[in-house]
Amino acid sequence: MIILETKDLMKIYGKGDTAVHALDGVSMKVENGEFVSIVGTSGSGKSTLLHMLGGLDRPTSGRVIVDGQELFKLKDEELTIFRRRKIGFVFQNYNLVPTLNVYENIVLPIGLDGNTPDKAYVDAIIHTLGLERKLQNMPNNLSGGQQQRVAIARALASKPAIILADEPTGNLDTKTSQDVLSLFKVTSRQFKQTIVMITHDEEIAQLADRIVRIEDGQIVDGGIHA
């Protein structure tokens, strides 16, 4: 079953001579439960692509369909709600709310949606990621690896259709990167999550089921599931 699909995605910054084609007709598909990594050099358009996939930014043209819903047909408010229900994010700089403790951060998207967290499910995630003892801590008291694990827990907690990870290991040293990523992979298997991760690190990318390469805003390899 296809959980994520893009069709002829275009994003152009600027006009006329100075126009930059950040995305130049990207079409790709992701199966449910798949772990896909998107690689490319900086400026290749991979971050822009991820922002489009997550509905954070609107494309110039083209479509993004997540779990059967075409994202950009939604109004801002609806899009935000769709996003917090269907898409989990993991960012390079973690993006934890500095004024909330670890547990509050993890259940925040669920609360924003007006739901009470599935206690057993959240506990299982916390256990798998080894965060039991850190629940009352504030984010700035945690190491980078720990913060990223909290971010992963937050992304998983709302049982999204898909998790988008933007250079999740970009701020971590090699050892921690490996740890975090394998945890990422384990939890996604355990909780049957689809993951799309962008990275410029080939080694990290190899951990994925499939690698999509992007150059100058166009997919050069791996766009359609084999």
Kindly list the residues in this chain that would bind another protein in the complex (CB under 8 A).
Answer: 18, 51, 54, 56-57, 76-78, 80-81, 83-85, 89, 91, 93, 95, 97-100, 104, 108-109, 111-115, 154, 158, 171
In whole angstroms, how close is the CB of 111 to another protein at the nearest point? Answer: 3
- Please state, in angstroms and rounded to a whole number, the distance separating the CA atoms of residues 78 and 52: 16
Q: Which two tokens stand for residue 3?
A: 């959980």
- Which C-beta is closer to another protein: that of 1 or that of 76? 76
Q: What is the DSSP letter of 219?
A: E
Give the residue with the Cβ less far from another protein, 169 or 222.
169
Minimum CB–partner distance for residue 66 and another protein (Å):
14
**CB environment 55-89: b (16+ within 10 A), e (fewer):** bbeebeebbbbbbeeebeeeeeeebeebbbbbbbb
Nearer to another protein, 119 or 226 (CB): 119
What is the DSSP code string of 138-176? -GGGS-HHHHHHHHHHHHHHT--SEEEEESTTTTS-HHH
Beta strand 218-221 pairing with 210-215: antiparallel
Both tokens of 50, joined, read 């991820």
Helix (H) or strand (E) holding 69, with range, is strand 69-70
- Is the CB of 2 or the CB of 97 nearer to another protein? 97
Q: Are 204 and 37 in contact (CB under 8 A)?
A: yes
If the CB atoms of residues 39 and 108 are measured against another protein, the closer one turns out to be 108
Q: C-beta of 148: minimal distance to another protein in Å?
A: 13
Q: Quote the least distance from Cβ 170 to another protein, whole Å.
A: 10
